[in-house]
């Protein structure tokens, strides 16, 4: 059975819910759902495909998610060529910075995007809204579910 590694980080719960929705729907593969702080190069090398889920903080990947890539980038370089990946971003109102950053990392790793980046905007912009626990809306959760199911189906069928 193929393995889908889902690496996530979340400060206020949004990206965590998105990752969990995708993981639950990925029934046709073995899913490893790991917080960024617990994921390392061995997990990356052992997987057949990757789903990254993170918030945008200051127009960049959140710190722990960036740290995951920093720790794994060189140990995995030249060892992942052609493997499939997808990206989910939980942003207040943008998300483009994370998309740019991860697509550059993925290019370096020679990963193949199997879907456009999935961005969910929670509209958090005031200090209070930023600090509040997030609840991802049902239609956005459905987009995450669809991505997880499609990724798993394609991976299991050998399409990706
Ligand atoms: C320090 C910090 C910086 C942020 N910077 C951005 C930003 O640059 N662009 C944006 O769209 N949202 C930004 N946000 C908002 C978060 O992306 C938003 O609250 C998101 O829903 C958080 O996801 P999470 O619940 O998974 O942590 C920022 C939040 C924090 C705490």
What confidence score (pLDDT) does residue 81 get?
Answer: 87
The answer to whether 38 and 71 have CB atoms below 8 angstroms apart is no
Whether residue 113 has pLDDT greater than 90: yes
The answer to whether 122 and 90 have CB atoms below 8 angstroms apart is yes
What confidence score (pLDDT) does residue 96 get?
Answer: 98
Cα 153 to Cα 74: distance, rounded to the nearest angstrom: 30
Ligand 1 residue neighbourhood (C-beta within 6 Å): 10-15, 55-59, 90-95, 122, 124, 130, 134
What confidence score (pLDDT) does residue 149 get?
Answer: 98
Of 1, 11, 3, 111, give the one whose Cα is nearest residue 53: 11
Strands 84-91 and 60-61: unpaired
Distance 130 CA to ligand 1 centre (A): 7
Whether residue 132 has pLDDT greater than 90: yes
- Its pTM stands at 0.98
What is the pLDDT of the chain when averaged over all its residues? 98
Tell me: the pLDDT tens digits for 42-58? 999 999 999 999 999 99
């Amino acid at each position: 059975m193929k393995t889908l590694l889902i690496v996530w980080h979340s400060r206020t719960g949004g990206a965590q819910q998105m990752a969990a929705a995708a993981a639950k729907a990925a029934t046709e593969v073995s899913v490893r759902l790991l917080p960024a702080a617990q994921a390392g190069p061995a997990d990356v090398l052992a997987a057949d495909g990757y789903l990254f889920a993170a918030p945008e903080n200051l127009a960049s990947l959140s710190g722990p998610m960036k740290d995951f890539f920093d720790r794994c980038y060189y140990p995995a370089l030249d060892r992942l060529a052609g493997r499939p990946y997808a990206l989910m971003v939980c942003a207040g109102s943008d998300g483009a910075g994370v998309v740019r950053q991860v697509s550059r990392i993925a290019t370096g790793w020679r990963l193949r995007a199997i879907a456009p980046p999935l961005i969910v905007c929670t509209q958090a912009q005031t200090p209070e809204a930023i600090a509040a626990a997030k609840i991802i809306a049902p239609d956005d959760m459905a987009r995450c579910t669809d991505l997880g199911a499609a990724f798993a189906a394609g991976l299991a069928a050998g399409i990706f």
